[in-house]
Structure formats: C-alpha cells, structure tokens
A and B are shown apart, each in its own frame.
Chain A
Amino acid sequence: MFSKLAFQNVRRSLKDYSVYFLTLTFGVCIFYVFNSMESQYVMEILLSANKGMIRVILQLIDVVSVFVSVVLGFLILYANGFMIRRRKKELGTYLLLGLDGGRVSALLFLETLLIGVFSLGIGLLLGVFLSQFISVFTAGLFAVSIPEFHFVFSPRALGKTLLYFGVIFLVVMLFNSFRVSRQKLIDLLRADRENQDLKLKSVGASVVMFLTGAILLIIAYAMLLVRGILRVDNLFFLMLALGTAGTLLFFRSLSGFLLKICQANKRLYYKGLNMFLLRQFNSRINSTYVSMTVICLMLLLAIGITACSVGLNNTVSAITAENAPYDVTVRFYCHGGDGAEPELEKWLAAGGFDPEQELAESVRFDIRQVELEPLTYSVGDREYTQTSLDAISLTDCNRLLALQGRTPLALTEGEYGLLWGTYMAEESFWKSLWADRPVVVAQGRALLAGGDVQAVVLTGDSVYSSMLVLPDALAASGTLSSRNLVGNYAPGIDPEQADERLAQAMGNLVPRDYDSGGNGYGYGWDSRVQIYLQTMGTKILVLFLGIYLGIVFLLCSAAVLALQQLSQAADNQNRYRVLARLGVEERMRDRSIYVQVFLAFFLPLALAVVHAAVGMTSANAAIAQVGRVDSAASSAVTAAFILVVYGAYFLATCWGSRRIIRGR
C-alpha cells in the first residue's frame, strides 16, 4: 500500500513536472557522455600520441565535473524544494490522517529514490547511446577512420555518474525528510492560503532605476570595447561589477518601466488582456528579478563559452586543413651538401617503406637557394636587405599545385612567381615584398614579377612554404637546400599503420646513412594524422570542455526558468478562473499564458545575447591577433544550439503552464 502510494505520486509528478525529469535525465546523460570521453577510440589514439597535454585536459574534465555536479546538485535541490512546496497540503493531509512524520519522510524518501532510479536509468541509456554518436563525430573531426564499429562504453564514467548523482539524491532525500519533520501541520494545511508578497514599488522609481541600469550597462560595454577583454586588473572587475549591477537594475525595473510606458499609451493599455499581463509581470518582478539576473548571466556564460570554443575550433581546424595538404611529407635538409639521396623513393623502400606501394600519388621536388642582387624591403618601420632566397622550379611548383587540385601557375620565360605559406610572421615580409612587385635579379638574371601570388602550403609545411618560383633552369642552378617527397596514401592503406612503417623506416635509415646532426644534414617527416593530432587534439578537447560547461549552464537556466513559471502558473490558476468567469475566451487566456512564459524566457536571453555580442566583439579583437575567428558561422551554430535547448524548455513550460492553469 505504502509503495503503491509512492508509485502513484511519482507518476503524477512525472506528468506535472516533466520539465524537472527532463532536466534530471539530461543532466545525467551529459555527465556520463563527457566523463566517458577518454574511453573513446579517438581519445585513445590521442592519448598514445600526445600524452601530457591530453592527460591534463582529461583531468580538467574530472575537475570540471565536480563543479558541474555541484551546480546540478543545487538545481535538483531547488527543483525539489519547489515540488515539496507545491505538495504541502497533500503532505499535511497525510499527517492529518495519522501517518506519523517518520512515515511521511519515508514516503518522500521512497519517492525520491524512485525518481532518482528512473532518471538515472534513462539518462545513462541516453548517455551511452549519445556517446556512440560523439565517437563517430570526433573521428570525423580528426579525419580518422574507425576500422570497425566500436561500441563505446565506459564503466568508469558509469560508476562516477552513479556515485555523484547517488550522493545528490541522498542529499535531496535527507533534505526532504528534514523539511517535513520541521513543518507544523497547520502551516502545511494552510499553505495555499499564505498571502503572497505583493509589495508593489512605485512605478516612477522604476523609471529612474531603469535609466540608471541602462547607463551602468553602457559604461560597462564602453569599458569592455575600449579596453579589450584580456586586461584583467582592478578596472576589469569594476567593469564586471558595473555590468552585473546594470543587469540587476535592468530586470528590477523593466516591468515597471514597461508598465509606465504602456500606461501612457491608453490604446495599448486598455486593449484586451494587456493590462492584466503587464500587472502580472510587474507583480512577480520582486521575487524574480534576482533569478532573472542570475539566469541572464548564466546564459551569457553558456553563449560566450560555446560560441568562443566553437569559433576558435573552426578557425583551428581550417588552419590545420591548410597546413596538412598531403598525407605524408618527407624532407631532407642538406644545405650546400650533395650527399642527399638523389632518389628518396628508393632510399625509403630500402628502409621498409616502399612509396610505390604505399602512396597513390607523390611528387619529389628540390628546394634550392638562389643568390639575389641585394633586395631591400621594409616591414613596418624597419628595412631589411635580402641577398638569397629559397626557390622552387616552375615545373615542381605546378606538379605540387596539381596534387592539391589547384590551378597551375602560368609564368613566361623571364618572370618569377611567389608562394606564400600561411605562416603568419613570414606573411608580412612576403606581402610587403610582393606589394612592390620588384624586378628580382636571381643568379645574375633579371626577372619580372609574374602571375598571381599563391597563398598555399605547397611543401607540406607552413614554415618552409614561402619562396620564389623560378624557371626550371634557373632554379636548378641554385644550391640544394632541401630534397622533399610528398604524397597521399593509396586507398586501402591504413594511415596510422603506414605512419608507423614510415617512422620505423626513417629510424632505421637515418642513423645508417647519416650521422644525424653532422655535416649539415637534417631530416624530418610529417603526416596528416600527426599534424591533426598535434594542432587539433588539445583544441578539440577545449571545445568539448566549453560545450560541456555551456550545455550545463544552459540547462540549468532553462530548468530554473521553467520551474519558476510552472510554480507561478499554479498561483495564477485562480486569476485565470476569474478571467474565465468574466467571459474571456480560452484562446485569449492561452495566449496570455504563453506571453507570460515568453517574457520570462525571452528577456534574460535577449539581454544575454546583447552582452555576448559585445563580449564577442571584444574577444574577437583579442583573438584576431593570434588567429582568425569565424564569428558568423560560430554564432549561427551557437544560436541554433541554444534555440533548440531553450526552445524545447520554453515549449514544455508553455504546455505545462496551460495544463496547470486549466486544472487538468
């Protein structure tokens, strides 16, 4: 009988507070997904390739998870407190019927247990399911093909989720029992008669407050835009304080301000339920402005973190793709020396890596240093003089361009071309050189600037990709600087295994044929996988961390808003009954409910978006110094993501409120 009652209660709560269960389930799901990260296929590769940094970041996820569990814990406590408050009368009735306090506590204990088991179960199932997708997604990001379907399951993450949420639910259970045992029966039974706090502040004061808030916000924005986001000093904290105070005042006074404006416009004010709506909103603001402020700031964090990490990541992946144009690059530096193997392919085959079999397409080319008549150029205020530069022959250059699928460079006899890598520091020098399109005298022969500049990483390495393109004969007369082989793996070859074979071959060959470091020789090799792992590995984890925090903040804000609105809906039940009796149609009443929920959801989001836009402008300025941020695309991704999560909560709240108000 006892457990049957608990079951029934849970079932009813599931209907009334579906938002609460959604949040619990999502919380568990996200917690599991991010904690199971390290058992993913890609992460395993990353771990083996780039141990130190990845280890640190996975540990960071651990630390962040503690923080996240505390945040979720508070959210659950809040939501639970709200549910208990709504059920005071019911609990009072149990006590009145002679159930002693201990039994009622036990009942709540059982209910919380059921809810916990239920949401944990579903959340974990969802989490395991979702992590399969994430696994495929990350593999795609790294351009790693997963050999076969690899079921990702992390017992450690499972245990951790169970432990953390177990503790949270235990705290909630204890909290519930404590709450009930402290309550007086009379207070429980008369809970719904409690007078609401209806202290209405003067409307005139709110206009002053609104203007003050707006001014504070403008000052904070101006400080942010002028000073930038990276200078953390006392003024920075002053700016944060101003922004927060401004936000607080904004929400504290907004409803009053709106009311004042609408009251001045009689036609708007005396139209349909507008008057009722505005008053409703205004009457609530005393109890909601603090939470609106907190929610606005949480949303700001969610938007900011997500947008920045997505934006930065897009940039990084774009750069990475440019930096790794070929599957593999082998390079011998032999400044002035002639000892380098004339045919790298044969040499590598001898070491156990046969380019004939491994590579589907490849290009071997030389880079030579040519003597110049002193060439003077200026970067900024400083002048430089160059007497020699690296050069590549036109034929090699066009073969490489063809390998990348780009249009060839067209030069006539007597012209030189220019290649730019994407290596930032060099770019400015080459840029200023090309700006003049000077006549270059290379190896004693004068050449005109010809063709367009090719801004590509042609040699498989951005650092060594800026050079002159010279007619074949002229290029060949220079001193050999390096001999290179680039290529793409043949289909059916597993890139990672091939990389290993290459590494082994190089390891075998170099010590045999060359004393490494001596005689001015050096060697190097890069592969696409390696470059991805090096440049993207940490960045992607940062992205995951950012999105993890972003989702949690977003989830918390939306859930708190939803619960607040649902609790208000219960309070509003009576008011809407009066409206029905006055003859307000159901459609009009529904619309009024939606508008109320919409205002509560939209206003914090709107201000948070404005905050975030200003913040991102400032952040972009800072990031642009080290790279480019694709802010339009990342903003779109973030907006879509937030709209989906936030929108789902908004709709759920609309329906829930309507259900409660209609009393069904």
Chain B
Amino acid sequence: MEPILNVENLQKYYGARGSVTRAIDDFSFRVNEGEFVGIMGASGSGKTTLLNCIATIDRPTAGHIRIEGKDVTGLKGKDLSRFRRERLGFVFQDCNLLDTLTAFENIALALTILKTPAGEIEGRVQETARLLDITPCLNKFPYQLSGGERQRVAAARAIITRPALVLADEPTGALDSKSARLLLDRFEELNGAQRTTILMVTHDAFTASYCRRILFIKDGRPFTELVRGASGRKDFFARIIEVVTLLGGDSGDVL
C-alpha cells in the first residue's frame, strides 16, 4: 500500500557557508493511511522545522516529501496553495482562528475557499462540529471561547475538507490538562472512527501517549521509534518517559 506520507532523506540547512545549522539532517520516515503518528523531541531538535517542511510552509534544502505519491517539494505558487487547501489540514498551537469570524464561519471558510457549493456547507459544518463536540460554540466568536474549544474549532476546520493528512503542531501547548485531554480524546476518535491520518508534533509526553506510533528526533536526526501496539496508554506513557529521559530532555519537558 502506498503510504500517505513518505519523507526521504530530508535535509534542511540554515545559514550561509561557514556556519551552517543542520536543522534536519537526512531524515526519512513513512506514515500510512489511518495512522496517528507523533514526533517528539526537545526544544530545538528540529521537529517544528520538519513539520513546516511537510506542511509546505517551509522548503527543504534537499530530499523529497511525497504526500499521496505527489512530491510537494517542487510545488510553487498556485499549485502549492491548491495542494495545501485540498490535501492538508492544520492545527497549530496558537489555533490561528480568524478573530473576526464566528466559530461556524471559521470552519466554513475552509470549505468556501475550496469552492464548495453553498448548499452543502451548513450540513457539513454541523456534522463536523458534532464530531468535535463544539455544536454549542458555533455562533460564538473566538474571543468568547475557551482555549480548548478554540483548538477543537481549529481541528474541525482542519478535518472538514477531508484532507489526506492532518498536521498538528503542539496542539495542546497552550491548554490546561483537562482541555488537552478533551482535545486528544477527539483526535483519538477521529483517528479511530474516521480513519483520519494525523501527524502531531509535541514535546509533551502525555500528549504523545495518545499516538499509535512515535518518532523521536534529536538534533535533526531520527533517534528512535516507539509503537504503542496493544499496550494501554499508561504503559505507553511510561515507555515514552524512558525515551525522553534518554534523549536528555530537561525535566520541564516531562509532565
């Protein structure tokens, strides 16, 4: 089966000759359809750079990123925008909702820029909102919502277009533990019931424990990989902590 995401020998260097920073150095991995993959690493390990490259926000120095078999590293301008709006969904730490639009409109916007027929929009927004348990918030503006609700709205916006891949960058970074748990439960359900493929970057072990598989990155190189398999989340969490300790992350990175 063709993987949804195939990253081959990815390199991203910053700086000029003489003082090159290797943010990502020869990184390869695959994500199959329906997977929920986490990428973990300490601050500065290159995980956000990796995600930005996959999200087509940043351009790698060398290597290839194939999404559904299509090489996105060569896309430009219009094609890039089109690919982004049709095949990718984003959830960021700072949620990135438009503050002038209601929750409903924020979600609907993802559809309107896809030129979805107007008649379909309301039904699909309601349906997605039910999935993420945000139906009561739909007519509120972002500033009237809690952080957790905002992130779930952002998640709804990310999945409503039925993207091939949902990219989440520290989605729980700004949330309290209860809201984080709520959001991650939703992610788990989306992954389980909807078969949404999710790639999530985090430095938080608790958040990571919701994933099915975790890639650890250190100094731009793959460090190790953990697969949850049949084990429970608590068990998985303990294994993650072990790796994090090995990685040399400071205690702040542990829950």
- How would residues 577 to 588 of chain A score, 1 for a CB under 8 Å from any chain B CB and 0 otherwise? 011111111111
A18 within 8 A of B: no
Distance A505 CA – B122 CA, assembled complex (angstroms) = 94
- Contact partners of A586 in chain B: CB under 8 A: 77, 81
Residue pair B113, A575 in contact (C-beta under 8 Å): no
* Contacts known (A272-B112, A575-B98, A578-B98); A583 close to B57, Cβ less than 8 A: no
- Contact partners of A587 in chain B: CB under 8 A: 78
Residue pair B85, A280 in contact (C-beta under 8 Å): no
- Contact partners of B141 in chain A: CB under 8 A: 198, 200
B236 within 8 A of A: no
**Interface size (A, Cβ < 8 Å)?**
30
Stretch from B8-16, B30-38, B103-111 forming part of the interface with A: B103-111
- Contact partners of A580 in chain B: CB under 8 A: 81
Residue pair B100, A575 in contact (C-beta under 8 Å): yes
Residue pair B82, A276 in contact (C-beta under 8 Å): no
A175 within 8 A of B: no
Candidates B82, B86, B119; contact of A266 at CB < 8 Å: B119
Residue pair B101, A585 in contact (C-beta under 8 Å): no
B178 within 8 A of A: no
A283 within 8 A of B: yes
* Contacts known (A271-B118, A584-B113); A196 close to B81, Cβ less than 8 A: no
B90 within 8 A of A: yes
- Contact partners of A575 in chain B: CB under 8 A: 98-100
- Contact partners of B101 in chain A: CB under 8 A: 275-276, 279
A269 within 8 A of B: yes
Q: Name the residue on B nearest A587 (C-beta).
A: B78
Residue pair A269, B118 in contact (C-beta under 8 Å): yes
Candidates A200, A270, A283, A579; contact of B118 at CB < 8 Å: A270
- Contact partners of A581 in chain B: CB under 8 A: 55, 57, 84, 90, 96
B223 within 8 A of A: no
* Contacts known (A270-B108, A271-B118, A279-B105); A582 close to B113, Cβ less than 8 A: yes
- Contact partners of B143 in chain A: CB under 8 A: 195, 198
Distance A274 CA – B85 CA, assembled complex (angstroms) = 17
- Contact partners of B118 in chain A: CB under 8 A: 266-267, 269-271
CB B35 to nearest CB in A, in angstroms, measures 23
Residues 576-622 (chain A) with a chain B CB within 8 angstroms: 578-588
Residue pair B84, A270 in contact (C-beta under 8 Å): no
- How would residues 55 to 93 of chain B score, 1 for a CB under 8 Å from any chain A CB and 0 otherwise? 101000000000000000000011001111110101000
- Select the residue from A275, A584, A588 with max chain B CB neighbours within 10 A: A275
Residue pair B84, A275 in contact (C-beta under 8 Å): no
A282 within 8 A of B: yes
Residue pair A275, B81 in contact (C-beta under 8 Å): no
- Select the residue from B77, B81, B105, B115 with max chain A CB neighbours within 10 A: B81
**Interface size (B, Cβ < 8 Å)?**
34
- Contact partners of B86 in chain A: CB under 8 A: 583
* Contacts known (A270-B118, A583-B82); A198 close to B112, Cβ less than 8 A: no
Q: Name the residue on A nearest B111 (C-beta).
A: A270
Residue pair B100, A282 in contact (C-beta under 8 Å): yes
Interface of B, secondary structure class, is helix
CB A567 to nearest CB in B, in angstroms, measures 16
CB A209 to nearest CB in B, in angstroms, measures 20
B137 within 8 A of A: no
Q: Name the residue on A nearest B82 (C-beta).
A: A583
B51 within 8 A of A: no
* Contacts known (A276-B101, A279-B101, A578-B98); A270 close to B121, Cβ less than 8 A: yes
CB B153 to nearest CB in A, in angstroms, measures 13
- How would residues 253 to 295 of chain A score, 1 for a CB under 8 Å from any chain B CB and 0 otherwise? 0000000000000110111111110011011000000000000
- Contact partners of B96 in chain A: CB under 8 A: 578, 581
Distance A583 CA – B87 CA, assembled complex (angstroms) = 10
Q: Name the residue on A nearest B113 (C-beta).
A: A584
Residue pair B113, A198 in contact (C-beta under 8 Å): no
Q: Name the residue on A nearest B158 (C-beta).
A: A582
Distance A584 CA – B81 CA, assembled complex (angstroms) = 6
Residue pair A272, B82 in contact (C-beta under 8 Å): no
- How would residues 560 to 586 of chain A score, 1 for a CB under 8 Å from any chain B CB and 0 otherwise? 000000000000000100111111111
- Contact partners of A279 in chain B: CB under 8 A: 98, 100-101, 105
Candidates B57, B85, B97; contact of A584 at CB < 8 Å: B85
- Contact partners of B83 in chain A: CB under 8 A: 583
- Contact partners of B113 in chain A: CB under 8 A: 272-273, 579, 582-584, 588
Distance A588 CA – B109 CA, assembled complex (angstroms) = 13
- Contact partners of B112 in chain A: CB under 8 A: 270-275
Residue pair A275, B82 in contact (C-beta under 8 Å): no
Residue pair A583, B88 in contact (C-beta under 8 Å): yes
Q: Name the residue on A nearest B116 (C-beta).
A: A270
- Contact partners of A585 in chain B: CB under 8 A: 77-78, 81-82
Distance A579 CA – B157 CA, assembled complex (angstroms) = 12
CB A599 to nearest CB in B, in angstroms, measures 14
- Contact partners of B88 in chain A: CB under 8 A: 583
Distance A594 CA – B82 CA, assembled complex (angstroms) = 22
Candidates A195, A198, A200, A276; contact of B109 at CB < 8 Å: A276
* Contacts known (A271-B112, A271-B118, A272-B115); A583 close to B85, Cβ less than 8 A: yes
- Contact partners of A588 in chain B: CB under 8 A: 113
Residue pair B99, A276 in contact (C-beta under 8 Å): no
Distance A274 CA – B101 CA, assembled complex (angstroms) = 12
Residue pair B110, A582 in contact (C-beta under 8 Å): yes
- Contact partners of A276 in chain B: CB under 8 A: 98, 100-101, 105, 109
CB A464 to nearest CB in B, in angstroms, measures 73
- Contact partners of B105 in chain A: CB under 8 A: 275-276, 279
Residue pair B99, A582 in contact (C-beta under 8 Å): no
Residues 216-231 (chain B) with a chain A CB within 8 angstroms: none
Distance A200 CA – B157 CA, assembled complex (angstroms) = 23
- Contact partners of B78 in chain A: CB under 8 A: 585, 587
Residues 115-153 (chain B) with a chain A CB within 8 angstroms: 115-116, 118-119, 121-122, 141, 143
Distance A279 CA – B112 CA, assembled complex (angstroms) = 14
Candidates B55, B90, B99, B109; contact of A196 at CB < 8 Å: B99
- Contact partners of B77 in chain A: CB under 8 A: 585-586
Residue pair B108, A583 in contact (C-beta under 8 Å): no
Distance A588 CA – B113 CA, assembled complex (angstroms) = 9
- Contact partners of A273 in chain B: CB under 8 A: 109, 112-113
- Contact partners of B82 in chain A: CB under 8 A: 583, 585
Residues 192-239 (chain A) with a chain B CB within 8 angstroms: 195-196, 198, 200
Distance A16 CA – B186 CA, assembled complex (angstroms) = 45
CB B162 to nearest CB in A, in angstroms, measures 14
- Contact partners of B99 in chain A: CB under 8 A: 196, 198, 283, 575
CB B143 to nearest CB in A, in angstroms, measures 6
Distance A131 CA – B101 CA, assembled complex (angstroms) = 52
- Contact partners of B98 in chain A: CB under 8 A: 276, 279, 575, 578-579
Q: Name the residue on A nearest B122 (C-beta).
A: A266
CB B171 to nearest CB in A, in angstroms, measures 15
Residue pair B109, A583 in contact (C-beta under 8 Å): no
Distance A275 CA – B101 CA, assembled complex (angstroms) = 8
Chain A residues engaging chain B, CB cutoff 8 angstroms: 195-196, 198, 200, 266-267, 269-276, 279-280, 282-283, 575, 578-588
Other than A275-B105, A575-B98, A583-B83, give 6 A-B pairs with Cβ distance below 8 A.
Answer: A198-B143, A279-B101, A280-B100, A582-B110, A583-B82, A583-B113
| Shortest beta-carbon contacts, A-B, top 9 | A583-B85, A583-B84, A270-B118, A283-B100, A279-B100, A585-B81, A267-B118, A266-B118, A578-B96
Provide a sorted-by-A list of 8 A–B residue pairs whose CB atoms are within 8 angstroms: A270-B111, A271-B118, A279-B98, A279-B100, A279-B105, A578-B98, A582-B84, A582-B113
Chain B residues engaging chain A, CB cutoff 8 angstroms: 55, 57, 77-78, 81-86, 88, 90, 96-101, 105, 108-113, 115-116, 118-119, 121-122, 141, 143, 157
